[in-house]
Amino acid sequence: MDADASLSPADGRTGKNKMAPASLEGQTLGKYRVLEQLGRGGMAQVYRGYHPQLDRYVAIKVLRPDVAEDEEFIARFGREARAVAALRHPNIVQVFDFDVQDDVPFMVMELLEGDTLKTRLADYRARGEHMPPGEAVRILLDVLDGLAYAHSEGMIHRDLKPANILLTRRGQAVIADFGIAQIVGGTRYTMSGALLGTLNYMAPEQGMEGRSDARSDIYSLGIVFYEMLTQRTPFDADTPLAILMKHLNDPLPLPRQVNPAIPEPFERVMLKALAKRPDERYQSALEMAQALREAAVTAGVELPARISLPLTFATAEAPSESVAVLSGTAREHITDAGFAADDTQETASQRAAGESGKEQLVSALGALGQAVAGKTASALNEAAAAIQGQSPPSAAGEAEGKPRHRVLPIVAAILLIPIVNLAMVWWGSITGNWDIFGRGWPVEVFLVGILLATIMAATSSIWLLIPAGIVVGNGLILAYCSITGLWGHWLCLWPLEPLLIGGTIWASIVLARTPERARRLARVLGQGLVVFAVFWGAITGLIAAVL
């Protein structure tokens, strides 16, 4: 289809059953060119879009085709979109436009690059830490400012959760996804409407009775506050109904019993915000904000002037880069805008990061096998990316200056295998000592260990300690038995195998709990294994050559 073509009935959709195609990439919605998909989930797909006249990149939220067939939902979408587009507040994501084209309803909003509160909490979990109370209160106060404004305009959010709270370079928290909010006016909502929220954060009256007001948002934000200071939500179960019943009936697990470091004044704020009955909660966002400020003073907790930089980017490679709010041509340099759809579903990079080490390792070795079989450097890039649980870098990414230092050591390690074998053949041919292969064959094991350790160091993947450590350790045992001819000693040495395997697996699991430390140690341990394997491989080869 032509890049400038709009959606039309010719796409195979007729009458009331028109449906959006599986992907809108490359097509046009209104004034906006639809680029790549950022995410999809409960009721929408989110795309990155471009407005050529304004030279502005945006996020476009498109209703799922099956949802769009519901005329009542489409009508409600139109009402909500008008109300949301009227909101103007620094702590609320700006909606620029909305429309319905060929039965495809969509909203256009500012495209923000950075992390969400969900990501920030995951960073703390990975470090085995809790968010400092002052930081948590600073974020909540920003959210409450945005909520107070929205509530005064007759809007409630109805789906507040960490994934819908964005953290920006300005040091502010910004509320995202008011797309499912409703106009407040004493309206009682249906159960189907209520379940548009997220159960773990949903107020009892919203889940069981299908009604919401500003106090329902207060309850959801209380759950968020609870999670920020305890690293867990208070109510969870195996089924949706069980979660709803816990919100309705179960007493709140006291925050200070989960994390005794929580100041008592903050616990009191949570208890009031999470009261079962709406009348017993804070009655407005302004009231809760005032209570938070007073609790901070009572607890002696100093509130930071701004939200700290994301832990995700506070690394040696990127010591100061934080969330960016960009527009215009600067949007072309976005590296990961997937968080824009974090309210609907995890992005591909998040899913990859959540894979187990075993799955990453299998994927990595599969890609590496292609490289050894004669693939180009792109296959090596795929291996490196798979080991780290990331998407393979694209050619465009390489052209924009992505580092190649990871590939070169791996290529050198691969080339070392035929070079050493040719050297052994050359030595056997000129000396007639072909027993160099008979006794020196463990050199091949060391060469494989060198390759694995090189990949480990180049990609900073602690999970490669398992195969690299096992291969190099076995190389040393096999070299001893082969050179000495004392294979009977294997009966004494074989107990080292379970120790070697279990030790590398245990060490990898323990180190992986602290990602940044694991990356540093992976580089050091990988380089150490390379030196160890090169030394003993050389010793093995030299002894086999002179025997």
d(CA 544, CA 547): 5
Catalytic residue (one of 142, 145, 159, 342): 159
Paired with 115 in beta bridges are 167
- H or E element in which residue 60 lies: strand 56-63
Give per-residue burial for 183-217: e unless 16+ CB within 10 Å, then b: ebeeeebeeebbbbbbbbbbbbbbbbeebbbbbbb
Neighbours of 484 (CB within 10 A): 11
d(CA 97, CA 82): 9
Active site residue 159: yes
The answer to whether 7 and 29 have CB atoms below 8 angstroms apart is yes
- Please identify which residue in the block is written with the tokens 């009655």: 283
Task: Read off the tokens for 25.
Answer: 């990439």
Q: What share of the chain is helix, strand, coil (3-state, %, to 5)?
A: 55, 10, 35
d(CA 474, CA 480): 10
The answer to whether 108 and 58 have CB atoms below 8 angstroms apart is yes
Paired with 40 in beta bridges are 45
Helix axes 465-484, 515-546, angle to 10 degrees: 20
Instruction: Please report, for residues 77, 104, 284, 445, the alpha-carbon distance to residue 176 in angstroms, rounded to integers and kept in the order given.
Output: 16, 21, 20, 54
Radius of gyration of the chain (CA): 29
Task: Read off the tokens for 195.
Answer: 């379940």
CA dihedral 277, 241, 228, 156 (to 10 degrees): -60
Enumerate the active-site residues: 159
